[in-house]
Amino acid sequence: MAIAELLAVVSPPSNPINAENGNHWTLAEQWIGFGLPDDFRDFATHYGSGKICGNYLGILNPLSTDNFQDAVTSFAEVLRDVKRSREYPYDVFPDRPGLLPWGSDENGNYLHWLTEGEANAWPIIVESHEGELERFDMSMTTFLAKALTNEIRPKHIWRRPFTQDERVFTPST
C-alpha cells in the first residue's frame, strides 16, 4: 500500500481539515471526468488540506471540492499558456493523455500526473519553474515518500536535501 510509505515518513495530523470523504471523492471524479489514483484519496483522507515542509509543498485535496476544482483549473490554464508559448511535449487536462496537476511548491515547480492508462499506474511528471520536465514511474505517495527521504532527487527541483525536521504536514487553517 503506497500510502504506508508516506505515513512512515510524514505523520498525518490528528484532526485533518477537509478529510471526510462523503461524496466529495465521487464529485471530484465526476468533475474531472475519469477516475483518480487510489493513493490520492488515501492521502486526502489521512492528511486533508495543508502543506508539507512548512508552507513549501502543497498537495491538492479532492475532498475540498471547490478548492480542488479551482486549483486544477488554474494550474491547467497556466500549462495551456505554456504549451501555446513554446514547444511542450504533453497535452493538458482535460485532454487525455495529458498532464493533470496535483501539487506545487513555493518556488513555482509543479507536480503532475500523465493521465495515460490506468489511474493507479499514472507516472509522475515533475516540472521546474524553468520548464524542465522529469518523469517518475511510481505513485504520488511513493514519490513523496522517496523525495522527502532523499531516496530520489528530481534533477531540476528540490536540489537541497530535505531534513527529517522538515518532514511535517501542517493542516490548513
Return the pLDDT at 2: 84
Cβ(49)–Cβ(17) below 8 Å:
yes
Q: Alpha helix locations (H) across 33-139?
A: 38-47, 65-85
Return the pLDDT at 156: 84
The 3-state DSSP class for residue 138 equals: coil
Return the pLDDT at 173: 64
Domain that holds residue 128: 2-171
- The whole-number mean pLDDT for each consecutive block of 10 residues of the chain, a chain of 173 residues, reads 91 92 87 94 95 92 85 91 86 93 93 96 94 95 96 88 93 82
Domain count for the chain: 1
Q: How far is CA 71 from CA 25, 59, 95, 132, 150, in A?
A: 16, 10, 17, 21, 27
Residue 14: CATH number of its domain: 3.40.1580.10
d(CA 123, CA 112): 8
Query: For all residues of the chain together, what is the average pLDDT?
Result: 92
Buried residues in 138-151 as b, exposed as e (16+ CB within 10 A): bbbbbbbbbbbbee
Return the pLDDT at 93: 93
